Structure 1
C-alpha cells in the first residue's frame, strides 16, 4: 500500500532535468494514458469498447504490446481516480509533444468518446478542457473530432 502511494506521488512530480529518457518517457506515457482514461471515466456508463479504444490508442501512440498497454491503462485508471487536476498531466504532455502529437492524442481521445456510439456532455467537456490546456487551436480540435466521428460512423 505504501509503495503504491509513493509511486503515485512520485508520478505527479515533474521529471528531473537529468532524468533518464526512459523515466521521462514512462511519465509521458502515464500522462497520456490518464487523459484517455479521463474520457472513458466521464461517461456515466462503462462500455468495454471505450476500454478497447484506450488500449488501441496507447498501442498506436507508444508502440506498446497489448500487455504493456493494459498495464499502463490500469495504472492510469488508479492515478486518474486519485488526481485532483489535469494540469499535472497536460503540463508534462506540453513539454514533450509537438502540436502534431497533441492533435493525434486529441483524436485518440475523441475515438474513446465515440467508441460506445454516442457522445455525452461530460466527455465533450473533458475533451474541451484537455484541448484548452494543451493549447490546441479550435479549428484543429474540431477537425480531430470530425475525423473520429467519421471513423466511428456516428
Structure 2
C-alpha cells in the first residue's frame, strides 16, 4: 500500500513500461478512490453514509483489507484536496480499465452519491462530468445510475 504523500503524487505520474504491476494497481486504486472522495465532497451534507459507501466499494472492487482501505481513503482525501482537476485521475482509469470496468466504477460513484438517500445538484453535475471524462456511453451511464439508485432503495426517477 502507498506510504507517503510523495509516493501518492508519484503514482499519478505517467506510467512507464518499467512500472511493476503493483505500482499500476496502486495508481488505479488511488484514482478510483479520489473520484469517490470527490463525489462525497460534492454533497455539502456529506457524512458517514458516504464514507461507508466508499470503504465498502473500495474493499469490494480491489479486495483490500480494512487497514489498506483506510490508508487508501486517507491518501485519496489528501490528493482530492491538492489536485487542480480530475483529468489526471480519469486519464489513469481510461488507460487502466476496460469500458465494462469503468461502467462498474461509475456505478460505485453513483452508490456514493446516493448513500445518504438524496442526490444533490452538485453531485449530479459532478457525475455527469465524470461520465464524460471516462467516456461512458450515455445508456450505460444511466443504467449504472438506476442500478445504484435501486441498490440504495430509492424510487426510480420521475416517481
TM-score interval (norm. to shorter): over 0.9
In 2 relative to 1, CA 5–96 (structure 1 residues): closer, same or farther, beyond 3 Å? closer
CA contact (8 A) 2:5 2:75 kept: no
1:65 alignment counterpart:
65
Q: How many residues align?
A: 152
2:137 alignment counterpart:
137
Cα displacement string for residues 37-88 of structure 1 (whole angstroms, at most 9, x for unaligned residues): 1100111112101000000110111001121111101100110000011110
Separation (CA, whole Å) in 2 of partners of 1:61 and 1:12: 19
Separation (CA, whole Å) in 1 of partners of 2:48 and 2:73: 13
Report the TM-score, using the length of structure 2 for normalisation: 0.91
2:157 alignment counterpart:
none
Q: CA RMSD in A?
A: 1.3
* 5+ long unaligned stretches in structure 1: none
CA contact (8 A) 2:11 2:26 kept: no
1:93 alignment counterpart:
93
In 2 relative to 1, CA 60–5 (structure 1 residues): closer, same or farther, beyond 3 Å? closer
2:115 alignment counterpart:
115
Structure 2 counterpart SS, 1:15: coil
Higher helix share: 1
In 2 relative to 1, CA 9–67 (structure 1 residues): closer, same or farther, beyond 3 Å? closer
